[in-house]
Chain A
């Protein structure tokens, strides 16, 4: 008896420790970001840092305004959602409700494959195909632009939106739909008036995941967006918060390096805030 209890305690302890590892990672990252991000913000000045429109980190009179990055990230993510969410949502409805089992299997497989493609490959294809394509299509001097980033991001968020939405739609109790059909509603009415509202919370989660992926993506964006610290405009070269950090981190030093940590901190807080807000608005209503 006694050894049994001891064993249980030991197992409990092991699981607790494993759980704490995750918590410790989150705390460590948070603490590290705050400690290394705050000094530069204070040195530059909160207002100048967050709302300054000029970024010239290596100039003789360095300026560290990250408003162009913040706005680029917001516009890029919003654009990707604008393109990606409708496509992903309707694909999920089709695959969950209408598609034959065989179609569903093949298309779900393709979607999973899309999720498994590394972001650098998206970036490479974007650089070789999309960027020259945009240049030719819109008659621009160069195609690396916010537009290219939005298109790449909208494709990248498709898998998470489709897969999570399908799971949510599949989980809607069949009785709901049967009842709706029995009352004389057409299948289409049933999907959009019954199944989708019932799966609302799951679909909201899918959108939140998509936002997270889009705003946190660095590699693919860096390869197609041109990476110049301009104020965002659809066909101009732009730099996102993520790419500002990753393109500079390799070589930067001094205040520039500290400022990169500050950008990372802003990005971190930004994602937290966005998730909290989206969770509140999208999921709160169902309760």
Chain B
């Protein structure tokens, strides 16, 4: 009996080891960990980097901004990925932020909806349930149906923190991907939703906010208000491994701009 118990314990430990964050025993590899919103841009960057530097590997682990920041702090990965600015408390713990790109969050509605522009305040009121009918914001009569993302989503976190609607949104549906939000909004003439600007398709209409339509230019000059940064997080005063430093330099150089744009976000360097 004792023997079986010890076998099960051993198996259990093995299972736990497998779930642990990728370690950095190889000097030629770079591990990144964090925001799932940054997956697309990170995969594009690491692919380009690995093509240029044979023998190196860049791993990406999509765990979420807060987990990624924590991973850098604990030293379980080289570069953390965050789709929000670092909090002051996190900076106080010796973490350093480098902005890689800016992501715009598009507010989308059904293409048949006549509304073309909303202010940030109107959007906030709509999501808080204070405005419930499209006629109140210049559209035709119809109950507004709020589509959003699940509570751990980076896009939701970004949207709610920008509009100041944390914990107050009266969602009708909480979907688990940008694609699902697009489909749900395209299916319902009274729906409103938010997705990463890079994933907007013709099946929906992206409205302008505060009279500024979402585009690469308006995001970069800061005039489009619903935007958030993609941040590379490192430890202040701790040197990266040679490969990790090379990757960091590559990602923040102007040479990477084309790749970053192709991934649907706006480069800043």
Contact = CB atoms under 8 A, between A and B. Distances in A.
Nearest to B67: A253
A126 to B, nearest CB: 11
A37 to B, nearest CB: 14
A222 B176 CA distance: 8
Contact of B187 (A57, A58, A131): A131
Given A31-B12, A60-B166, A131-B187, A253 B176 contact: no
Contacts of B191: 142
Given A24-B8, A57-B151, A251-B64, A226 B36 contact: no
A221 B94 CA distance: 44
Interface in A88-135: 127-128, 131-132, 135
B63 to A, nearest CB: 7
Contacts of A205: none
Interface string B39-77: 000000000000000000000001110110010000000
A196 B175 CA distance: 44
A237 B172 contact: yes
B158 interface: no
A226 B174 contact: yes
B154 to A, nearest CB: 7
Given A142-B188, A253-B63, A24 B11 contact: yes
Interface in A232-250: 237, 239, 246-248, 250
Nearest to B180: A223
B183 A227 contact: no
B135 interface: no
A56 interface: yes
Interface in B129-176: 142-145, 150-154, 157, 166-167, 171-176
Contacts of B142: 141
A226 B173 contact: yes
A253 B66 CA distance: 8
B173 A227 contact: yes
A119 to B, nearest CB: 14
A187 to B, nearest CB: 47
B167 A56 contact: yes
A132 B188 contact: yes
A58 B166 CA distance: 9
Interface in A19-62: 24, 27-28, 31-32, 35, 56-60
B167 A141 contact: no
Nearest to B190: A141
A228 B174 contact: yes
A247 B176 contact: yes
B64 A227 contact: no
A59 B168 CA distance: 9
A261 interface: no
B63 A251 contact: yes
Contacts of A253: 63-64, 66-67, 70, 152
Nearest to B150: A247
A66 interface: no
Interface in A175-211: none
Nearest to B132: A141
A256 interface: yes
B197 to A, nearest CB: 20
B180 to A, nearest CB: 7
A53 B145 CA distance: 23
A252 interface: yes
B238 interface: no
A248 B151 contact: yes
Contact of B12 (A32, A127, A237): A32
B184 interface: yes
B173 A135 contact: no
A127 B63 CA distance: 28
A24 B3 CA distance: 13
B145 A250 contact: no
8 contacts: A24-B7, A127-B180, A141-B143, A144-B173, A227-B150, A228-B171, A250-B36, A251-B150
Given A58-B152, A252-B64, 8 more contacts: A32-B15, A57-B151, A132-B187, A132-B188, A237-B173, A237-B174, A250-B36, A253-B63
Interface of B: 7-8, 11-12, 15, 36, 62-64, 66-67, 70, 142-145, 150-154, 157, 166-167, 171-176, 180, 183-184, 187-188, 190-191
The 10 nearest A-B residue pairs measured at CB: A251-B152, A251-B64, A226-B173, A141-B143, A59-B167, A227-B174, A247-B150, A142-B145, A58-B151, A252-B152
